[in-house]
Structure 1
Amino acid sequence: MTRHLVLLAGLAGLLALQACEAIQPEHAPPGQVREISWSDGDSGHIDGERFRLADIDAPETGTVGSRSGARCELERQRGREAKAWMVSLTRSAVVTITGDHGADRYGRRVLRLSVDGEDLARTGITAGYLQAWPHRNGRAQTPKPDWCGDAR
């Protein structure tokens, strides 16, 4: 009889443990981003790791004339606008990694992202904050977009 009570108590404990596990918050689904921050309109940090958007260019935000800075003040202003747009777009959205092309020469993960189920690159191009800049095996297939002209 005592053995049956011990078994029943053990079974009850196991069921209680499973019930507790069932109500624990689940981790984010595979590919879903928990935290994103933007350095500019096409790069930043995802869950603490540096990344860059695949096949996309955004205007630079750095000082005009510096090594990786903007080519003109108009590009720098557009860069600040692109970054602000990205921050706003992704602030409370579901951001998912939809493609991973490995690391670039700077050690950043080159990624494709979706925001609330919509392709981020396509959305940014349509809004005028990003331009296509296709790459293959880490090499640009076209010249870097010119953000200093009148038209985006």
Structure 2
Amino acid sequence: MPMREEPSDPLDFRKAFKAKKRRKLGKEIILSLGEFSIVVAAGMLALNWPAGDARPAMVEQQAQALFQQASSPQFAICGRVRRTCVVDGDTFWLDGTKIRIADIDTPEIGQPRCDYEYELGMRATRRLVDLLNAGPFELRTIGNRDEDQYGRKLRVVTRNGRSLGDQLVSEGLARTWSGRREPWC
């Protein structure tokens, strides 16, 4: 059996870790510069329009929408690292906090009971990714419970006063939460 070679320098691990942190910091700086450039470009466009023209207000609104999209967290379906991602149609992580959408129930994808449940659950999961990435949203508590028995924060997710859970229900990808899970098969 071949022996594992020990690193010659015990600080190699620390060097690699610090290099990884520097790369991550560089990405954050690039994102911030990108947000800054959107605002500067919109401001320059607005300054070049003739006085009395309604276009600067339109450009300002478009720039504000672009800035909100650039500064909103971007979601994907969760992998190994779970910081800001979607677990399934009614559960997601936001900045390291696990959140259960309190007003709906969606099909399971982790342990589905039939193919239909899995397929519908995957559609709900992908749709939740799209909805969360569509722009800023609010998280509101519901009732007097802050967490469920699994430690997930119970929240209603809204945008412009409308529940994203209600939107999933209207699209046939979720059910309104009745207080208990019901079968999908």
TM interval, shorter chain, is: 0.5 to 0.7
Displacement of 1:146: 2.5
What residue is the counterpart of 1:107 in the other structure?
151
What residue is the counterpart of 2:102 in the other structure?
54
Map 1:68-87 → 2, pairs under 5 A: 69-87=111-129
Structure 1 position 128 matched with structure 2 position 149: no
**TM-score, length of structure 2 as denominator length:** 0.51
CA distance in 1, matches of 2:92, 2:141: 16
**TM-score, length of structure 1 as denominator length:** 0.61
User: What's the secondary structure of 1:106's corresponding residue?
Assistant: coil
Q: Which runs of 5+ in 1 are unaligned?
A: 1-33, 63-68
Cα 1:124–1:52 change in 2 (3 A) is: same
CA distance in 2, matches of 1:99, 1:112: 6
User: What's the secondary structure of 1:78's corresponding residue?
Assistant: helix
Structure 1 position 147 matched with structure 2 position 184: yes
Q: Which runs of 5+ in 2 are unaligned?
A: 1-71, 74-83
Q: Deviations over 1:36-82 (max 9, x none)?
A: 521000001122101101131101112xxxxxx11101100111110
Map 1:2-41 → 2, pairs under 5 A: 35=73, 36-41=84-89
Q: Higher relative contact order at CA 8 Å, sep ≥6: structure 1 or structure 2?
A: 1
**Larger helix share, 1 or 2:** 2
Q: Percent identity?
A: 29
Displacement of 1:116: 4.2
User: What's the secondary structure of 1:39's corresponding residue?
Assistant: strand
Judge which range, 40-49 or 87-96, deviates more: 87-96
CA distance in 1, matches of 2:124, 2:116: 12
Q: How many residues align?
A: 103
Q: Is the 8 A contact 1:131 1:145 kept in 2?
A: no
CA distance in 1, matches of 2:89, 2:183: 15
Q: Is the 8 A contact 2:131 2:164 kept in 1?
A: no
**Larger strand share, 1 or 2:** 1
User: What's the secondary structure of 1:121's corresponding residue?
Assistant: helix
